[in-house]
Homo-oligomer: A and B are copies of this chain.
Amino acid sequence: MTDYSSSSSSGVATEETSSLIAASKVEGTDVYNRQSEHLGSIYDVMIDKRSGQVAYAIMSFGGFLGMGESYHPLPWRVLTYDTGMGGYVVDLDKSRLEGAPSYGVNDEPNWQDRGYTRSIDDYYGVPPYGGI
């Protein structure tokens, strides 16, 4: 995620280049692990209404035309954009992905439940989103 590809060396105090991306462009972006295996693609992102913080990216995985597909919520901070790969990279081997929190297309989790979101954060070893 940290895209510090600027070549600025002027040492100015303010960052003059932003790094904004449209949600519509995030969606559909491929996700790989560090072994360059394709894991899935970004289906949606979950935004904290209060803070405006993107808490999770929802990766779709497997399936064909929506059948047999499953969704894996990934804490936003575990994703790193790799310009060479043209996608996000997450440190997650396939066996670990199998045990990760996921849900089916018709099985939307209760996103209002902090216990659920914390179970995602715990699995990936990141602090609970929102810093509460």
Which residues of A are at the interface with B, using a C-beta cutoff of 8 A? 1-6, 14-24, 26-27, 44-56, 58, 76-77, 81, 110-117, 119, 129-130, 132
Contacts and interface: CB of A to CB of B under 8 A. Distances in A.
B52 A76 contact: yes
How many copies, total?
A: 2
Contact of A20 (B4, B20, B49): B49
Nearest to A111: B20
B54 A18 contact: no
B20 A55 contact: yes
B115 A20 contact: no
A115 B20 CA distance: 13
Contacts of A49: 1, 3, 19-21, 81
A113 to B, nearest CB: 4
Given A27-B23, A45-B23, A47-B54, A113 B17 contact: yes
A112 B17 contact: yes
